[in-house]
Structure 1
Amino acid sequence: MDTAFTIFLIAVSIIAIVLIWIFWSFAIGAGWEPTSKKIVKKMMEMAEVNSDDVVYDLGSGDGRIVIEAAKRYNSMAVGIEADPIRVLWSRIMVRIFRLQNNVKITWKNIFNQDISDATVVTLFLWKNINQKLKPKLLGELKPGTRVVSYIWTFEGWEPVKADNYENIYLYIIGESDK
């Protein structure tokens, strides 16, 4: 086989894999855009995360929120991510920061994972996914559980706190959903 043609096939294959990876995120309901460290810090502060908390990040991407919760607040944290490449990356970062005792990254669909032990839930998903999550959050989370959403609100719920400049919204189960 001609070397130029082999290089062409490899390049096309790499491009195809990258495109599938990118569109996979959209197919499952949320494209990936990393949340800035500044926003992560504000989300944690708004939720008043502390060492007694169990923080769940739904659609955890590269793991930055759960890593921050464990590093800065000594919380237990669980990231749920459907993208296997981001799960692998997150697990590597958890090991690099030596947070294996505080952070667990799971490769799951957020709708099929039990989140009932969460005291704080963070998310940066699309509005329609937030709406689909409402019954799950109400059915599994205990009253008083804090839910922090970046960018998208929950229709019909009233935030307890809102940073309208940064688009961060804090909801509390049993208060916001009345």
Structure 2
Amino acid sequence: MLWPLAIGAAYSPSSMKVVRKMLNMAEVDDEDVVYDLGSGDGRIVIEATQKYHAWGVGVEADPLRVFWSRLKIRKLGLQDQVKIIWGNLFHQNISHATVVILFLWGRTNENLKKKLQEELEPGTRIVSYVWKFKGWKPVKIDRKERIYLYIIGESDVPEDDFNHITHLL
């Protein structure tokens, strides 16, 4: 399938060990709405719902993976807590997210920065697996697994702006 490649990622499922580390790093709980952009087989939003009692929303471009993940969700009886959207992640409203999980390509993360800043509330946690955001400072890093936690309103403030703000205080 070529459309996921055109959008900015290929299907490469994260291990469940990494999935749990990402959700733990973001401190996901039952108050959270976890969005997985490029949700593949739905494993992250399913885990967020089953183990952390969060709400889950996956966005996936590949219709076969959407079908497969929706089938898994239905089989597990999670259709009231997990939703999979078929579409381009750049065209979806993600403003309800309190946590966003990404395992995309570095170029795709860079293209997403403006959307994340415009649509997400300050305090929203973004967890990126493997790829960093250039110019953003992670709040937490798991160097071994290459997992980076960012927080809107903290991580995305340019260092010069932060230094200027703290100098004024």
TM-score by length of 1: 0.87
Q: Which amino acid aligns with 2:33?
A: V
SS at match of 2:128: strand
| TM-score, scaled to structure 2 | 0.91
Paired residue for 2:89, among 84, 94, 110? Answer: 110
Conserved in 1, the CA contact under 8 Å of 2:42 and 2:69?
yes
Structure 1 residues without counterparts, runs of 5 or longer: 1-20
Pairwise CA distance, 1:52: 0.3
Does 2:110 align with 1:134?
Answer: no
Structure number with larger C-alpha Rg: 1
Q: Deviations over 1:31-79 (max 9, x none)?
A: 1100000000000000000000000000000000000000001111100
Question: How much has 1:97 moved relative to structure 2?
Answer: 1.0
Aligned AA for 1:52?
A: E
Deviation at 1:25, TM superposition (A): 2.6
Matches within 5 A, 1:21-170: 21=1, 23-170=2-149
Could you tell me which amino acid in structure 2 is paired with residue 168 of structure 1? I
User: How far is the alpha carbon of 1:158 from its aligned partner?
Assistant: 0.3
Amino acid at match of 1:133: L
Distance 2:52 2:14 in 1: 18
Query: Contact conserved, 2:34 with 2:56, CA < 8 A, in 1?
Result: yes
- Cα shift at 1:142: 0.1
Moved over 6 A (4+): none
- Pick the structure with more helix per residue: 1
Deviations 1:122-169 (A, max 9, x none): 010000000000000000000000000000000000000000110000
- Give the whole-Å Cα distance in 2 for the aligned partners of 1:159 and 1:73: 23
Q: Percent identity?
A: 62
- Using the alignment, how far apart are the partners of 2:35 and 2:10 within structure 1? 19
Partner SS state of residue 156, structure 1 = coil
Aligned to 1:17: none
Structure 2 match to 1:4: none
Residue identity matched to 1:143: P
Q: Is the Cα contact below 8 Å between 2:126 and 2:150 reproduced in 1?
A: yes
Equivalent AA in structure 2 for residue 151 of structure 1 = V
Q: Whole-Å Cα distance in 1 between the matches of residues 91 and 102 of structure 2?
A: 16
Which residue does 1:11 correspond to in 2? none
What is the rounded CA distance, in whole Å, between the counterparts of 1:132 and 1:76 in structure 2? 26
Structure 2 residues not aligned, in runs of 5+: 158-169
**What is the alpha-carbon root mean square deviation over aligned residues?**
0.7
